[in-house]
Amino acid sequence: MRSGGREAAHRQQHRQGRGRLEGVIADQILPRLLLVHEATRRPDLGPGSFTAQEIAEFGALTVAADNLGARAFFDDMCTRGHSIETLFVHLLAPTARHLGQNWIDDSCDFLDVTIGVARLQELLMIYGAADDSPAIDPRHRVLLATAPGEQHVFGVDMLGKLMRGAGWDVTIRKAPSAREIAAAVSSDWYGVVGIALSADAGLEDMGQSITEIRRVSRNRQIAVMVGGPAFTGHPERAVQVGADSLADDASAAVILAKKLLLMQGEAH
């Protein structure tokens, strides 16, 4: 019985620690991923150049006694031709996730993860334009929502921060009713609506909600993108619920939203 109690306490500690780590990543790292100087961009080698081994190596350097190794690794990747934006999105962010997974797997302790994340933040401050917010185009207005009754909200928060960094005016609704989503798009103009769904059981309700969004929206060309675990491995479900497109992850959603908005302009 005592052993069971210790195991439960250990699991609870893991959950709490993981929650703190997710908060650090969501609140302090992700908002800056796309805030980079245009002048630093160059022809890029692409995200596929980063292997799992490189991410693990970089992760180990971030928790070392000093930050010289991590800084040298980052500088070397710049020299090889990666843009700052690609390094932020496809090296720093995966490394943050790698550190978190190491902690969950008991490969490192929470202090190591905290040090590693702090080193990643330091690199963002050194190389990124963290204080330069891009100007917002009035048409770049997006409503992000979890499906009615949805309890998993971390993903929509993360996407909201990325889209703000990319110059979008973002409104977030967490677990709203279908009526509340419809009221939002009928009272304010939005270029894009993004809805996340975890459970398969919510597909029918989501489809009805999207139909109502299109019926009452102030923007008659409003685009709807969907994402979340309910669509993983089932892209046909996006068509089933009446969405315009499916975003596999937050980074893809930022690009997709821009494309959907541009397509509206072409339709005029």
What's residue 80's pLDDT?
86
Residue with tokens 């996340």: 196
| pLDDT tens digits for range 163-212 | 887 788 999 998 899 999 999 999 999 999 999 998 888 999 999 999 99
Structural domain range at position 41: 2-127
Span 117-169, pLDDT tens digits:
778 877 876 776 444 455 567 789 999 998 877 766 667 876 887 788 778 89
CATH of the domain at 238: 3.40.50.280
Domain stops at, among 100, 127, 154: 127
What's the pTM?
A: 0.55
123 lies in the same domain as 185: no
Q: How many helices (H) and strands (E) does the chain have?
A: 11, 5
The stretch 92-102 carries a mean pLDDT of 80
Q: How many domains, in total, are found in the chain?
A: 2
Average pLDDT in the chain: 78
Model confidence pLDDT, tens digit, residues 46-55: 545 688 899 9
Whether residues 160 and 83 fall in one domain:
no
Pair (33, 79) in one structural domain: yes
pLDDT tens string 249-268: 776 788 788 889 888 865 44
**Mean pLDDT across 61-88:** 86
| Beta strand segments in the chain, E | 141-146, 169-173, 192-196, 223-227, 245-246
Element (H, E) at 126: helix 110-127
* pLDDT of amino acid 119: 83
- Name the phi and psi angles at 178, rounded to 5: -60, -35
